[in-house]
């Protein structure tokens, strides 16, 4: 079977659950089809996440049109250096020049995210944070400035903060401490170890686990999940990325959440119904949702 073939529908969950982080605009399907497939297996709510201005506007528009879609808006950590430096990698050469009006362009973009963050269907500011994997040293300042601006927005609007943290654990935790984290802070696609999970737990940060926790080389993620307080655990697809085993390499979608939930329940040594109920309650709390409509 071709790796690009969509995985089959898993057995439905008996207790509904939410996909706390997905990118419907990047998936090879319509919103209606994606939501119908998800609902058929017990995934009744999704958080649609924007990564740039266009994607954030689309997230807000889609959330306004669908009761069970809620939006998160932001400039992705790798988007801020692109705006400032005119280089997707943030690795401008010594001879390169800062993009014309880069700093003011970033301010303008942040202003539009701020406007979107005030909309009622937008439940979170994110994904924001730091990415030391894809952005080089020249992009660090732009990333940090953008991250701090998003933290301030989330607090001012009373929205959750959704964090992208790739190979930047210490700096992300430092900036959150310096700025003061919002009351509801979510580490999307949690990538730290058990020790970091204990730090997040102490600070009341939610930890959202994706399909990569099922990968053979992901024991540190499973160790983190094992020690994370149940009341701070979320699940996500980050679709179309991070498809869980045994479908790794094939397109991900919200309907595959049950595969990850079952793997997580095995790590926690609890029933999938108990875990799904906790995850849904946590998602409602993290994103300020109406528990009667999820």
The ranges assigned to domains in the chain are 17-92+99-287
Rounded to 5 degrees, φ, ψ at 263 are -65, -40
Bigger pLDDT: 282 vs 90? 282
Query: What is this structure's pTM?
Result: 0.94
pLDDT at position 86 is 84
pLDDT at position 2 is 46
pLDDT at position 1 is 41
Mean pLDDT score across all residues of the chain: 94
Q: How confident is the model at residue 94 (pLDDT cuts 50, 70, 90)?
A: very low
**pLDDT at residue 99 above 70?**
no
Taking residues 17-36, what's their average pLDDT?
Answer: 98
Instruction: Please identify, in words, the CATH class of the domain defined by 17-92+99-287.
Output: alpha beta
Tens of pLDDT, residues 108-147: 999 999 999 999 999 999 999 999 999 889 999 999 999 9
- The percentage of the chain sitting over the pLDDT mark of 90, rounded to a whole number, equals 89
pLDDT at position 271 is 98
| Contact between residue 211 and residue 242 where contact means Cβ atoms under 8 Å apart | yes
- Count of beta carbons in the 10 Å neighbourhood of residue 28: 11
Residue of 232, 227, 254, 228 lying closest to 243 (CA atoms): 254
- Count of beta carbons in the 10 Å neighbourhood of residue 183: 12
Tell me the torsion sign for CA atoms 236, 238, 242, 247. Answer: positive
Q: Which of 36-40, 99-103, 189-193 has the lowest mean pLDDT?
A: 99-103
Q: 180 CB contacts (<8 Å, ≥6 apart)?
A: 151, 155
Q: Which two tokens stand for residue 293?
A: 């409509």
**pLDDT at residue 90 above 60?**
no
Q: How confident is the model at residue 102 (pLDDT cuts 50, 70, 90)?
A: confident
| Contact between residue 288 and residue 47 where contact means Cβ atoms under 8 Å apart | no
| Contact between residue 73 and residue 122 where contact means Cβ atoms under 8 Å apart | yes
Q: Alpha-carbon distance 72 to 51, whole Å?
A: 9
pLDDT at position 4 is 79
């Amino acid at each position: 079977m071709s790796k690009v073939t969509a995985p089959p529908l898993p057995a439905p969950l008996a207790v509904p659950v939410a996909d706390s982080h997905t990118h419907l605009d990047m998936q090879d399907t319509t919103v209606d089809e994606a939501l119908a497939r998800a609902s058929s297996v017990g995934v009744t709510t999704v958080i649609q996440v924007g990564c740039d201005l266009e994607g954030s506007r689309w997230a807000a528009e889609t959330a306004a049109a669908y009761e069970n879609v809620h939006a998160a808006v932001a400039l992705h950590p790798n988007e801020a250096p692109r705006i400032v430096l005119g280089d997707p990698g943030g690795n401008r050469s010594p001879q390169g020049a800062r993009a014309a009006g880069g700093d003011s362009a970033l301010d303008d973009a942040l202003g539009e995210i701020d406007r979107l963050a005030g909309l009622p269907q937008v439940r979170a500011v994110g994904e924001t944070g730091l990415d030391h994997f894809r952005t080089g040293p020249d992009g660090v300042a732009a990333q940090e400035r953008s991250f701090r601006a998003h933290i301030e927005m989330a607090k001012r609007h009373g929205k959750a903060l959704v964090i992208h943290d790739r190979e930047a654990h210490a700096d992300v935790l430092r900036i959150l401490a310096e700025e003061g984290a919002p009351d509801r802070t979510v580490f999307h696609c949690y990538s730290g170890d058990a020790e970091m999970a204990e730090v997040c737990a102490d600070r009341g940060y939610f930890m959202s686990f994706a399909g990569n926790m099922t990968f053979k080389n992901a024991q540190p993620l499973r160790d983190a999940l094992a020690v994370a307080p149940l009341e701070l655990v979320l699940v996500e697809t980050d679709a179309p990325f991070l498809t869980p085993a045994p479908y790794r390499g094939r397109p991900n979608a919200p309907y595959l959440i049950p595969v990850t939930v079952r793997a997580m329940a095995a790590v926690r040594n609890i029933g999938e119904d108990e875990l799904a109920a906790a995850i849904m309650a946590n998602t409602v709390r993290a994103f300020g949702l109406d528990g009667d409509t999820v």
